Amino acid sequence: MSVRAADFPYLSGPTPLALAHRGGALLPDNVGLENTLGAFRRARALGYRHLETDAHVTADGEVVAFHDDSLDRVTDAEGRIADLPWSEVSQARVGGVEPVPRLADLLEEMPDALLNIDVKADAALEPTVEVLRRHGAVERVCIGSFSERRVRAARRALGPRLATAAGPVGTAALRFTPDVVARVLHTPAPVLQVPAHHRVAGRVVELVTPGFVRRAHAAGKQVHVWFHSWSVEDAPEYHRLLDLGVDGVVADRIDVLADVLAERGRPLTGGAVG
């Protein structure tokens, strides 16, 4: 039986979905404070209900909402998260200001938020599954990963009501190879999350085309688009993707995307967490 996006509560709202990437990493007030509760609060205040985050696990099993495998880049501390106990990670400050949140903290503070979770490490999968079970959050999350094996394991563990994103689909094969497209469209994942562009042999190619979106929709899938750090992410690009019919945009410039959606008659209505 084909797995269709409409069958999942996480994906059942009106499209296009607006997802705040790491809470909206390039919102001016969030720069340097990605994946913090403060960043997610500001996204919610703009009306974002769908929040994108990443998951790593500490040496003693705490799942943190954090992108990198080490603290070095964005905090005032150092060390690989997997090698550190939560007691040390909890003392680190993102941008020297905000603590690293646990996934449980995010689920508890924002019980009506919908989370897109990228499980970044094999060791993080089972603890993430346990956090979601404990909080009864299976139907309000979408699990993705560059590891197809992790995504399959999450489906097995959490059952058919879990929305998942197709595994490593960010390749030029999706754009140019019909048999790969056909295989991906028959994935048990209801959503395809792809980069807007991909570098192949030194040149940038567009992965999201009218044909690809059309085939995805015919299979009952949604198409969500994210951006590489080197991608152009601005209002014209958002308009271009929305004109192609994509179902979701994973944005860093969440203020700009909110303006674009309002201009198109689709203002955000998620509201702030009280």
Torsion of CA 145, 151, 154, 156, to 10 degrees: 180
Separation between Cα atoms, residue 26 and residue 23, nearest integer Å:
9
Give the β-pairing of 17-21 and 50-57: parallel
> Within 10 A of 146 (CB to CB), how many other CB atoms are there?
13
* Closest by CA position to 220, among listed 265, 163, 150: 163
Catalytic residue among 21, 50, 56, 198: 21
> HSE of 253 in the Cβ direction (CA atoms, 13 Å)?
16
67 is catalytic: yes
- pLDDT of 166 reads 84
Check: CB of residue 116 under 8 Å from CB of residue 52: yes
- pLDDT of 235 reads 98
Separation between Cα atoms, residue 98 and residue 102, nearest integer Å:
12
Helix H or strand E encompassing 200: strand 197-200
Phi first, then psi: what are they for 140, rounded to 5°?
A: -110, 20
Catalytic residue among 67, 197, 198, 224: 67
186 is catalytic: no
pTM exceeds 0.85, yes or no = yes
- pLDDT of 175 reads 53
- pLDDT of 185 reads 62
> HSE of 87 in the Cβ direction (CA atoms, 13 Å)?
1
Query: Average pLDDT for consecutive 10-residue bins of the chain (274 residues)?
Result: 87 94 98 98 97 98 98 98 98 98 98 97 97 97 91 95 76 52 72 85 83 87 91 95 97 98 92 42
Report residue 102 CA to chain centroid gap: 16
- pLDDT of 272 reads 44
